[in-house]
Amino acid sequence: MSWLVPPTKRSYPCRGDFLQLLREQRGWTQEELAAKAGYSTRLIRKAESMASLSCDTIADLAASLDTPKNPVYPEDLVSDPLASAKLFIESYDRYERDMIQHCRHVLAEDFVFWCAGDEEEMPIAGTYEGIDGFQRFLDVFFTVMSRPAGFHINPTFSCAGNEVVTRFRDFTIMNGLAAPPVWIVEVATFERGKIVRIENYFDTDTGQKFVHDARSLDPKSQANGG
């Protein structure tokens, strides 16, 4: 696999832990990866120690580890998914509806955001495709709900390969009714160093009950029969 966009530097620090994970998933020793990639075992050891490698070498390693089922791109070996996931959630926490402009560079063009819930019961549930689609999700969310002033989330993160799981507790208000605290789990999938998909999970039973209760407080909803 080649670089999607020509690199701007001659070399980059290799994401050694991910390289080692990919090698071990293939069932290869460092010597075997070296032979398949056409490099020395010493270079593989350096790469797994996060040493800087030339762009061509990084591309060669990616090509050696690539499979039709599990593609590997050069960008995957130099990216920082954890930092990107942190930027995404920090942008949401600080900028809410306007978050995209602060994290756009970590989102793939074909980014997909999926939110759990019954689409007939939850106004935010469903699949949102592309950057514009994600903005529609944010517009819907912050039109029907708000978050308490001064409240900030305290997320935790765990990274495994090209996937980052973020856990946090959030609070929302709808029609003046405060929701019970809801634990949210977001699973971000990366490809070529960008977030290609986020799946947003939460207690949908609690969430849908809250939305139903909040809608009952809306005079327009009552006039339309709930």
pLDDT in tens, 62-76: 999 999 999 999 999
Domain boundaries, the chain: 11-77, 81-223
Task: Retrieve residue 13's tokens.
Answer: 């620090």
pLDDT in tens, 170-207: 999 999 999 889 999 999 999 999 999 999 999 988 88
Q: What is the dihedral of CA 13, 16, 18, 23, to 10 degrees?
A: 130
Whole-model pTM? 0.90
Percent of the chain's residues with pLDDT above 70 = 96
- What pLDDT does residue 208 have? 86
- What pLDDT does residue 226 have? 47
Given pLDDT bands bounded at 50, 70 and 90, which one contains residue 39?
very high
CATH 3.10.450.50 holds for 81-223: yes
Q: How many CB atoms lie within 10 A of CB 12?
A: 19
CATH level 2 (architecture), domain 11-77? Orthogonal Bundle (1.10)
C-alpha torsion sign, points 108, 111, 116, 122: positive
Section 212-224 average pLDDT: 71
Report yes or no: 151 and 178 within 8 Å, Cβ to Cβ.
no
